[in-house]
Amino acid sequence: MSSFKALRVHQGSAGVSAVLEPVTPEPLSPGAVRVRVAYSGLNYKDALAITGRGAIMRTYPRVAGIDLAGVVEASEDAAFKPGDRVLATGAGLGEWLDGGLAEYAHVPADALLALPAGLSLFESMALGTAGFTAALALRRMLENHQEPAQGPVLVTGATGGVGSIALTLLAGAGFEAAALTGKPEAAAYLRALGAATVLERGGLDLGAKPLEKAVWGGALDNLGGEVLAYLTRTVKPWGNIACIGLAQSAQLHTTVMPLILRGVSLLGIHSVQVPRPWRETLWGQLAGPWKPPQIASRLVRAEIPLEQVPEAARELIAGRARGRYVVRIAGDL
């Protein structure tokens, strides 16, 4: 193999540009694995990197893509051998390591997991970092004693990848899931995923007092900013807020009152450097009891080739997409 095709992001005097170009493979370093990529996924974080809207990559040029699934072609680590079916999410891919939006990926063995029984390569990328993040949020909430009896759990940014999967996971775990969205036309889609209630973000009274009427048992927040501040004021005693994203704002202006007078917990969800035992457990859950039904038809917006990734990234940034993009590279192997 003299070269392979990859979506690389460059930074120049005119800014950031994403270019589909040939890349010359490097010899495998000790502890590394070469994966023939079958599928990748497109996440909001990828869209930030590809469009230059966020400082995601540490160095340039860099192959984009924080997710991949495929088959091992060569390995310098005893944990993997040629022919193994594997996946990787986060772990520095598409940030300080070359990522999964390429025909081949040179990946540290520590970043890889064996594809769990119960998931196809396609399904693993239909979930990808979004599904893993939603599962991590649910795990942390359950560990901190979140129970369905506490009341409805509000998912913000509900039409996005994390939000869509979170609704399905919450409903499957017995919670009453509520969806907050800026796309009222998506109400039927959100209910099909498991939302018992759909609220329009523009009609939400955010209030201003340190404590407002407690209405939510807990929340998974993808927005940050004013909406996250609202959640701190309106979650019931001992409820949890899983803080996942900043699609609205990275700022948070609130008080300690909900924390010390209602026992509300703000749980940070970081999906990149997750201990390996956690990753293995969560992917086992996603392949087993937490596996969303009808992944392809319910969660996937479109299956696209590498050539269409930049346009899809712009759709994500503009808030026009709902659900997940799966990027077909080699396809089923």
Q: How many domains does the chain have?
A: 2
* Domain CATH number, residue 322: 3.90.180.10
31/65 same-domain check: yes
pTM for this model (two decimals): 0.94
Which helix or strand (DSSP H or E) is residue 86 part of? Answer: strand 85-89
Residue 278: inside a domain: no
Is 129 buried (19+), middle (13-18) or exposed (0-12) by CB count in 10 A?
buried
37/11 same-domain check: yes
135/109 same-domain check: no
| Domain residue limits at 17 | 4-118+293-328
Residue 323: inside a domain: yes
The dihedral over CA atoms of 247, 251, 253, 259, expressed in degrees to the nearest 10, equals 70
> What is the reported pLDDT for 309?
97
12/74 same-domain check: yes
- Per-residue pLDDT band for 152 (boundaries 50, 70, 90) equals very high
252-310 pLDDT, tens per residue? Answer: 999 999 999 999 999 999 999 999 999 999 999 999 999 999 898 889 999 999 999 99
Helix, strand, coil: what percent of the chain each, to 5?
A: 30, 30, 40
Residue 225: inside a domain: yes
- The residues, any chain, with a CB within 8 Å of residue 249's CB and separated by 6 or more, are 223, 224, 225, 226
151/246 same-domain check: yes
Q: What is the largest CA-CA distance in the chain?
A: 64
Residue 287: inside a domain: no
Asked if 47 contacts 59 with a C-beta cutoff of 8 angstroms, the reply is: no
Residue 273: inside a domain: no
Residue 166 predicted with pLDDT over 90: yes
Residue 286: inside a domain: no
200/246 same-domain check: yes
159/211 same-domain check: yes
* Domain CATH number, residue 222: 3.40.50.720
244/199 same-domain check: yes
Residue 274: inside a domain: no
Is 34 buried (19+), middle (13-18) or exposed (0-12) by CB count in 10 A?
buried
CB count within 10 Å of CB 170 equals 29
241-262 pLDDT, tens per residue? Answer: 999 999 899 999 999 999 999 9
Q: Which two tokens stand for residue 214?
A: 């407690």
Residue 333 predicted with pLDDT over 90: no
Residue 44: inside a domain: yes
78-122 pLDDT, tens per residue? Answer: 999 999 999 999 999 999 999 999 999 999 999 999 999 999 999
185-241 pLDDT, tens per residue? Answer: 999 999 999 999 999 998 899 999 999 999 999 999 999 999 999 999 999 999 999
106/136 same-domain check: no
> What is the reported pLDDT for 14?
84
64/20 same-domain check: yes
> What is the reported pLDDT for 247?
86
248/140 same-domain check: yes
65/153 same-domain check: no
22-72 pLDDT, tens per residue? Answer: 999 989 999 999 999 999 999 999 999 999 998 899 999 999 999 999 999
Whole-angstrom Cα distance, residue 117 to residue 120?
A: 8
